Structure 1
Amino acid sequence: MLLRQLVALYSGLWLCGFSMAALVRAGLGLDPWDVFHQGVADHVPLSFGAVTAVTGAVVLLTWIPLRQRPGLGTVSNIVVIGLSVDAGLWLLPTWESLPARVAAMLAAVVLNAAGTVLYIGAGMGPGPRDGLMTGLVRRTGWSFRLIRTAIEVTVLVTGWLLGGSVGIGTLVYAFGIGPLIQLMIPAVDRHLPGFHAVARRAPDLAAPDPTPADR
């Protein structure tokens, strides 16, 4: 079981990073966090992958007041995704034709969903950004939908103001990643423990956002 978890963890993280690079090369807009990473990379002497890793480390510091505990997956997330992004940017071309760019964008979203399912399914600790979300949900009692939306909108607007790429790919990612992940979960749920652990701890994702009085 441990070997299976490790293979799922590292293959999933590598797919996540490589898909991020493919989304960059497609040039049709990035996911919210990558909009932020690209915006920051335009203003500092660091590569896109290095900015991704540094951002992960900074976000990890926010876990301290949230009393969120890291695991092997947390540290691996910071290192492996940064390396994978840079490797992908080095290997992948910049596509010129619109059909090729659209195909690359769609493939990137699918690969990111597959990587996310494998990485979460491994059950070896959340990445910095996922841990920030779950920590805030646990501490505030607010819904996942409210917390995740607030984080992604803040990150997206900040990245856009710094010059990050926003486009149709941003919307496809935002609205497509959730259904794709949900569709892929059964393929790994019988073989990996991660989703069973999340189901035991997480509040009902379909629950409505709390009213001010409930908070």
Structure 2
Amino acid sequence: MYRIKRIIMAFIGVTLCGFCVGMLQKANLGVDPFTCFVTGIANIFSSTYSTFYLILTGALLLLVLILRRHYIGIATIINLFFTGIAADVMHALLDTVFPHPSLAIRWSLMLVAIVFTCLAAALYFTADLGVSAYDAIALIAAYKYRLLPFKYCRIITDSVCVLVGFAFNVTLGVGTIITALFMGPLTQWFRSHLAEPILTHGQIKTVV
């Protein structure tokens, strides 16, 4: 039962993350830090995003396998196959419901997507059945090498990605800045107060 719960948490987390990507795409107020990084590197070589997404993700996977292969697992595979599908489904649905969204709707979509992306990350991190290669970097720095608490490691990796993207002509948006600064702390909050209590006791921690 414990393993089944972990698999369910991983599946929900990864799928929810995909939905949030679709919401951010529809909001069009800035991409997430890793997308910003990949786009910046692709610009250096005048290549496509998809080409360098595969190259950079492959390089990170190799690094994670060397440093802490524990983070590569079922959720990593689910991430590869379901995140894109979930994003496309959500984007298509939002295109139908909001064909020409106002600025207020775009801001609402962005903020909701950022919050639920952090919740999604907390669920599949806590399930401990593998994470994306990029997510694993901050986790390794925080929990294997204990360089800093996770929220600060995530802020650093996200900020580096944003700076690289900005240096190589990626247009930043408010969504990019918000995700770079707040995803780490908010993901850690959801892990401590919701994901971990659900996994270990089936109860959500009460915030006093």
Contact residue 52 and residue 82 of structure 1 kept, 8 A: no
CA distance in 2, matches of 1:116, 1:77: 11
CA distance in 2, matches of 1:106, 1:44: 31
Contact residue 30 and residue 170 of structure 1 kept, 8 A: yes
State percent identity of aligned pairs. 26
CA distance in 2, matches of 1:21, 1:51: 20
SS in 2 for 1:166: coil
Gaps of 5+ in 1: 194-215
Residue identity matched to 1:155: C
Residue identity matched to 2:5: R
**What does 1:11-90 correspond to in 2, within 5 Å?**
11-39=12-40, 44=47, 55-69=56-70, 70-90=72-92
Q: Show the counterpart of 1:206.
A: none
Structure with more helix by fraction: 2
TM-score (norm 1): 0.71
Contact residue 95 and residue 101 of structure 1 kept, 8 A: no
TM-score (norm 2): 0.73
Contact residue 66 and residue 136 of structure 1 kept, 8 A: no
Residue identity matched to 1:160: F
Contact residue 22 and residue 87 of structure 2 kept, 8 A: yes
Contact residue 5 and residue 123 of structure 1 kept, 8 A: yes
SS in 2 for 1:29: coil
Gaps of 5+ in 2: 201-208
Q: CA deviation at 1:32?
A: 0.9
Residue identity matched to 1:86: D
Residue identity matched to 2:175: G
Choose the corresponding residue for 1:158, options 157, 164, 188.
164
Matched, 1:169 2:175: yes
Count of aligned pairs between the two proteins = 191
Q: CA deviation at 1:29?
A: 1.4
Q: Show the counterpart of 1:210.
A: none
Choose the corresponding residue for 2:118, options 91, 113, 119.
113
Contact residue 56 and residue 78 of structure 1 kept, 8 A: no
Q: CA deviation at 1:61?
A: 1.3
Compare 171-180 and 106-115 and name the one that shifted more.
171-180
